[in-house]
Amino acid sequence: MAPLGQTVKPEFQRYIRAVMSGAAAGIAPTTLRAALSLAEPLYASATILRNRLYDAGAFAARRLSRPVISIGNITTGGTGKTPMVRWLSERLRDDGHRVAILSRGYGAPVGGAGDELLMLQRLLNDPAASKVWLRASPNRVAAGHALLAQHPEIDVFVLDDGFQHRRAARDLDVVLISALEPFGFGHMLPRGLLREPLRGVRQAGAVVITHADEVPFETLSEIERQVRRHHPGVPTYRAIHTQIGLRASSAPEQPMDELSRRRFFAFCGLANPEALDRQLSRFGQAYIGRRWFADHHDYTAADLERLTEEARRSGAELLVTTEKDWVKVEPIAASPDRLPIWPIDMRIRFLCEDEERLLEQIRGVIPSRPTSS
pLDDT tens for residues 3-16? 343 444 667 777 88
Q: What does the pLDDT look like over 73-95, one tens digit per residue?
A: 999 878 889 999 999 999 999 99
C-alpha to C-alpha distance for 348 and 293, rounded to whole angstroms:
24
Q: Is residue 277 pLDDT above 80, yes or no?
A: yes
CATH of 243-346 given 3.10.450, 3.40.710, 3.40.50, 1.10.357: 3.40.50
C-alpha to C-alpha distance for 45 and 41, rounded to whole angstroms:
6
Q: Same fold for the domain at 68-241+350-363 and the one at 243-346?
A: yes
Which residues are CB-neighbours of 112 under 8 A, at least 6 positions away?
105, 136
Determine the pLDDT at residue 5: 39
Total-model pTM: 0.90
Q: Is residue 106 pLDDT above 70, yes or no?
A: no
Give the residue-averaged pLDDT of 152-176. 95
Q: Is residue 107 pLDDT above 60, yes or no?
A: no
C-alpha to C-alpha distance for 188 and 168, rounded to whole angstroms:
23
C-alpha to C-alpha distance for 74 and 201, rounded to whole angstroms:
8
Q: Is residue 338 pLDDT above 90, yes or no?
A: no
| Domain coordinates in residue numbering, the chain | 68-241+350-363, 243-346
Determine the pLDDT at residue 369: 56
Domain 68-241+350-363 has CATH 3.40.50.300: yes
Share of the chain above pLDDT 90, in %: 73
